[in-house]
Amino acid sequence: MEAHLDVTIALLERTPTALNAMLRGLPDSLTRSNEGGETWSPFDVVGHLIHADLADWMPRARWILEFGESEPFPPFDRNGHKQMTQGKSLAQLLDEFTEVRAEKLNDLRSLNLQLEDFARCGRHPALGSATLAQLIATWAAHDLNHVHQISRIMAFQYRGAVGPWQKYLGVMHCNGHGASA
Amino acid sequence: MEAHLDVTIALLERTPTALNAMLRGLPDSLTRSNEGGETWSPFDVVGHLIHADLADWMPRARWILEFGESEPFPPFDRNGHKQMTQGKSLAQLLDEFTEVRAEKLNDLRSLNLQLEDFARCGRHPALGSATLAQLIATWAAHDLNHVHQISRIMAFQYRGAVGPWQKYLGVMHCNGHGASA
């Protein structure tokens, strides 16, 4: 379990740097454009990742350790980032994500989790019983889910420009497969 | 068109740095594992990106400028990276990708393309007529296609660990939507 945790922390540490490398300095035509309607832009996704670090993962980990299954997790607002990101630049959000992520990983390490802690259960308001190990694994998988989404949103902006190659580019046929954690 | 080219080059420049940030130093359990059967690992994908830079994008751009539609592009071997990557480490491939990409973008800039060049047509062996502008746009979209794929392959390794959250993680329900450019 500790080995798994090390790998998961290694993934979680890399996400702000990876998004910084992918996005910083690109024009708004790529970073502030979405896939139509109420879908998210890469800017929105970075805002959501910050908000989830603040309001979802570590708060829920502490919730499990404090309340177990006796109380469900407080609900997480998938649009909670909207107010927080207003008036900010993408560069500001990327800086903020780097800081918040480092801080939250320090919090995780400082819990000094023992083998038996990983098996402790909490209660998700919709999904039911889930362990602390599953919550922490989902934190990393959720990052990957959103890297997957950001690459898809940016590829969407190229759907006309690639002409006949659209057919061969799987990313342009991806619809996101539903909601997020 | 020149503005489009600047954005596309900005995307292409970022990919080696982004993959470096995402992948370097992660354990083989993440970077050398695939999605089962003959599917690719992140290591294979980086190899494919190097091979495509060497054998696909810029060679085809020069082919269009030299032969137009008179000769179809020579076919590109989607498994051409396999021999090239044998015995190498992921760190070596990431270094190689950084070098090859920088070199190929220098080649692209040195073509000093004019507005009328972008409309010049080549002939894809399966897709038919395609312009130089479409080829260059596809180079960048193909990067995004493979970032999309790498995030999906790594998320796949977490499919058991996330327990009930699997349902909410779109990336775990993505099948890649077919082939690549």
What pairs with residue A123 in β-bridges?
A72, A129
pLDDT classification of B25: cutoffs 50, 70, 90: very high
B168 pLDDT more than 80: yes
∠ at Cα A33 (A28, A39), nearest 5°? 150
Angle, helix A2-23 to helix A132-156, in steps of 10 degrees: 20
CA B57 – CA B19 distance, rounded (Å) = 19
Q: Is the pTM of this model over 0.80?
A: yes
B127 to A165: CB separation less than 8 angstroms, yes or no: yes
Q: For residue B160, which phi and psi values (nearest 5 degrees)?
A: -80, -40
Name chain A contacts of B165, Cβ cutoff 8 Å: 124, 127, 130, 134, 138, 141-142, 181
A-B contacts (CB, under 8 Å): 198
The whole-angstrom distance between residue B53's C-alpha and the CA centroid of its chain comes to: 8
Taking the C-alpha atoms of residue A4 and residue A6, their distance in angstroms, rounded to an integer, is: 5
Min Cα–Cα distance to chain B from A28, Å: 10
Q: Determine the Cα–Cα distance for residues B5 and A21; give it in Å rounded to an integer.
A: 19
Nearest by CB to B163, from A17, A131, A154: name it.
Answer: A131
Using pLDDT thresholds of 50, 70 and 90, give the confidence band for residue A175. Answer: confident
Query: pLDDT tens-digit profile of A18-74?
Result: 999 999 999 999 999 999 999 999 999 999 999 999 999 999 999 999 999 999 999
- Distance between CA atoms of residues A145 and A151, nearest Å: 10
- Look at residues B146, B100, B155, B132 and name the one whose alpha carbon lies nearest to residue A154: B146
User: Is A144 within 8 Å of B133 when comparing Cβ atoms?
Assistant: no
The pLDDT of B85-107, averaged and rounded, is 98
Give B-chain residues touching A177 at CB under 8 angstroms: 170-174
Model confidence at B175, pLDDT cuts 50, 70, 90, reads confident
Tokens of A95: 């800086």
Q: Report yes or no: B134 and A163 within 8 Å, Cβ to Cβ.
A: yes
Query: Under DSSP, is residue A124 helix (H, G, I), strand (E, B) or coil?
Result: strand
ipTM reported for the complex surpasses 0.85: yes
Q: Which residue of B has its CA nearest to A147?
A: B151
Burial A46-65 (b: 16+ CB within 10 A, else e): bbbbbbbbbbbbbbbbebbe
